Chains A and B, each alone.
Chain A
Amino acid sequence: MMTRILPLLLLLVFCCLSVRCLQNQSDQQHHKRAFPVISIHYEAVRTPFEVALWILLASLMKLGFHLIPRLSSVVPESCLLIAVGLLLGGLIRVIGENPPVLDSQLFFFCLLPPIILDAGYFLPIRPFTENAGTILTFAVVGTLWNSFFVGAGLYGVCRLEGGGLASVDLLSCLLFGSIVSAVDPVAVLAVFEEIHINELLHILVFGESLLNDAVTVVLYHLFEEFAHVGEVTPGDVFLGVLCFFVVALGGVMVGAVYGVLAAFTSRFTAHSRVIEPLFVFLYSYMAYLSAEVFHLSGIMALIACGVLMRPYVEANISHKSYTTIKYFLKMWSSVSETLIFIFLGVSTVAGPHVWNWTFVSITIVLCLVSRVLGVVGLTYIINKYRMVKLSGKDQFIVAYGGLRGAIAFSLVFLLSSDDFAMKNMFLTAIITVIFFTVFVQGMTIRPLVDLLAVKKKKQSKTSIIEEIHTQFMEHLLAGIEGVCGHYGHRHWREKMNRFNKRYVKRCLIGGERSQEPQLISFYNKMELKQAMMLLESNSSASLNTAGHTTTTIEQSSRRTLNISKEREEEIRKILRANLQKTRQRLRSYSRHTLMPDPAEDDWSETHLRKQRVEIQRRMSLFLTGPAHRQESPPMRRARFESDNQEHVTRPSVPLNVTPVSSVLQDSVTIDNESEKSDESRWRRHGGDEKQEGERGIRGRKPSVTFALDLDEQKRSRCLSDLGPNQLNEDDEESFLSH
């Protein structure tokens, strides 16, 4: 372990030293000399260079942790990062420089938004809305209770102690209480991500940490204003309450407006797919900044924007843009989180500290006590209104998971020293609380979760029958509620869904997707995921065929501009049917329907190879357009029949002989090549399946005449993504060689 840490340490020392040397270098260029061939101009590059260096260091640290096997499973990453920050700060101080403190401006405008946007965009909506009442109660009432309890308690202690603490007045205590009692989303995310706790608890704690921002903002500004002015009237208190509603609802509305704008914009991006992700990021960031202009809750604006725009944007953008958005958000939020924790460590070394044993220890005790009391008390009241009650274990995890983090630190840092003489003492106290919660609570929560046998997150993915049945139950329950005359939240949800379907979707989703029911989109997404998985599992062996198929794809891609809608649809259907068949094939040997075949392995190997080719071709078409494909079992059986080489012409019956049929011909010829040797085996299987095939052929007629109403829009959407040919080629090659 030491041998691994040593190079990292050396790297750190080297970086710090080089920074120092480069700064000194700039002082030495005053005397006249010959024309400098090589000169160093560090000052010009300084800021971007340092920023990039910090980010690089943070990312290297993240890599480094996973090289040390045992450590990352015991200690959560956030603790390690703070430790590294402390180390870095110490090193910088040893060198003689002043370590940089976490600049609040930087924190609130650059580091925090990506994390919140990531959280808001991928917020699981159903659990959130089902538990919205509980979450709001914890966020609002719980935070208020915590603030006043801690503030009053501290004031009482300060009065009793006297001495250095006597100058701390009630307002300062209340302000400090409000800052220290807010559960921090960054810390909660960092710790809870690693313990894989069940969905309900996760959404409770996490939702609380997001929504309590409104309360914190109001209390913070309220007390700051009061401290500045110096006196409080009852009118001010009333205005404070009013302010809370304005802040919370105003933030949500600002976010909603920007979300709707983003969804509307994404409707028209069919021709410039490349900048689609940019709209999502920009609109969200603007929502955050706009909310901050009016001192509204920026976090709530960001969450509202992400939640609102997601379903519409996802229906409009291409699959590649969706992947881009997902990975960019994850990347930025990960980097931000790392940087925040490292800076927290560095700032600890940097900041002026005033250590007061009483104040700090009382703060920690009060925080813990108030959190436990608040959670227990609120749960007692909430359980009367919940269907699934929160058990004692749940309450414990909710109470224990209330971690404090960098938001509290930055808020204290923003306080002006004139109004608050004890700012440094507050800073020290808050850093201690943060360290305590992150280190002690963060490290022990994982063994405690195992010890108490709290339910963990269910690992499996949703199957389509679960989705069908969930929707079924929603309709059923809404109907039963109607029978009882009871207007529960399902009634309102159904109403909103109807409103959404009738008016909103029509505005915000372009083209035909606006009519698509939720079940169909879900199904298409599943199909796409399955296709990707199959491709990835086969792609390692497919490098040989990659060269051949790339050229075919290129040729066909240039020619596809000429095909008509029906032909396109036919090709897709046939390719799709192939894919469906693969899945069936791979599972079929566990059923009792097919006769056992001793040569099954060889047959499936060549067949898999053929399927791979098909899948690759299908993927190239898939990725260039939104995924909403339909299956057709009659086509599937007909395709199987076609493998028996009876009718190379049958797939092309509805097609005239055009360049496009060469795509099909290619696929069929590849079939033939690989299948010639296995003809006998095919025939045997063909015998069993013949009746099915015939039924399939008869059943094929309706499927041929049925043609999806392909819109111009849909076609243009898929064609436009072919884009400049270069882009396409690069994509295909990189994709296939992946």
Chain B
Amino acid sequence: MGSRASSLLREEDIEEIKKETGFSHSQITRLYSRFHSLDKGENGALSREDFQRIPELAINPLGDRIINAFFPEGEDQVNFRGFMKTLARFRPVEDNEKNKGPPSGEPLNSRMNKLLFAFRLYDLDRDDKISRDELLQVLRMMVGVNISDEQLGSIADRTIQEADTNGDMCISFTEFTKVLEKVDVEQKMSIRFLH
């Protein structure tokens, strides 16, 4: 199956993806075989059901949101390039990349893009603000059913209080980045894709 999978992926595709995402050749082929094994329908694209079949996502509290993050706006299928683009955010930040300035926009796995990805997971309606309700939803997902709404509400209030600097009772992306500037996002939001 491995050879068949890699034969469906052409060299030019691999080069393009390499340039766009920064993954190495072997990483791309490995991830392609994974993509292929998830793709039960054999049509070169993944649907939501394919993702839901993954056991780790089924028990993950944020499973649905993660699945949604793979699919671009309004679509139901994601091809390999889209798959790789999303995964590229989780590539570890290389030291040499940290130092050199953005050549043509920032690389996909820069700190800001990682934070932007996370922000978009909170902010479902894409209005560039995390409102109290959106925060409550996320908290509810992470905390389970045993805790009352009031409790969660006060935690959400407190969170917004801490982060909000301009008083609009919502967290914008700049406020979000500012609050998390002490968190080591480069390490926490990276996966080691083995060579």
Contact = CB atoms under 8 A, between A and B. Distances in A.
Interface of A: 130, 385, 387-389, 458, 460, 463-466, 468-486, 488, 491, 494, 498, 515, 517, 519-520, 523, 580, 584, 587, 591-593, 630-634, 703, 706, 708
A388 B187 contact: yes
B56 A491 contact: yes
A478 B193 CA distance: 13
A476 B51 contact: no
A482 B70 CA distance: 14
Given A482-B55, A483-B66, A485-B34, 18 more contacts: A387-B190, A388-B92, A389-B95, A464-B162, A466-B182, A472-B122, A475-B61, A484-B191, A484-B193, A486-B194, A519-B155, A520-B151, A520-B155, A523-B158, A580-B154, A630-B148, A632-B153, A706-B149
B90 A478 contact: no
B148 A706 contact: yes
A587 B161 CA distance: 10
A387 B189 CA distance: 10
Contact of B142 (A481, A519, A584): A519
Contact of B163 (A465, A482, A491, A587): A465
24 contacts: A388-B186, A463-B162, A465-B180, A466-B182, A468-B159, A469-B180, A470-B188, A473-B185, A477-B191, A478-B56, A479-B57, A480-B87, A480-B90, A481-B56, A482-B56, A484-B31, A484-B191, A485-B34, A498-B59, A517-B144, A519-B142, A523-B158, A580-B154, A703-B150
7 closest A-B pairs by CB: A482-B56, A631-B154, A630-B151, A632-B150, A479-B66, A479-B60, A387-B92
Contacts of B9: none
A466 B142 CA distance: 14
Contacts of B60: 475, 478-479, 482, 494
Nearest to A517: B143
For the residues of B in contact with A, the DSSP-based class is helix
B138 interface: yes
Contacts of A634: 150
Contacts of A587: 161
A528 B192 CA distance: 38
A130 B190 CA distance: 13
A478 B54 CA distance: 12
B128 to A, nearest CB: 17
Contacts of A472: 62, 118, 121-122, 138, 142
B68 to A, nearest CB: 11
B66 A480 contact: yes
B193 A465 contact: no
A475 to B, nearest CB: 5
Contacts of A520: 143, 147, 151, 155
A472 B137 CA distance: 12
Contacts of B57: 479, 482-483
Given A475-B142, A706-B148, A470 B183 contact: yes
A708 B148 CA distance: 8
Nearest to A460: B182
A316 to B, nearest CB: 19
B24 to A, nearest CB: 14
A481 B191 contact: yes
Nearest to A573: B150
A222 to B, nearest CB: 36
B22 interface: no
A469 B167 CA distance: 21
B142 A631 contact: no
B47 to A, nearest CB: 14
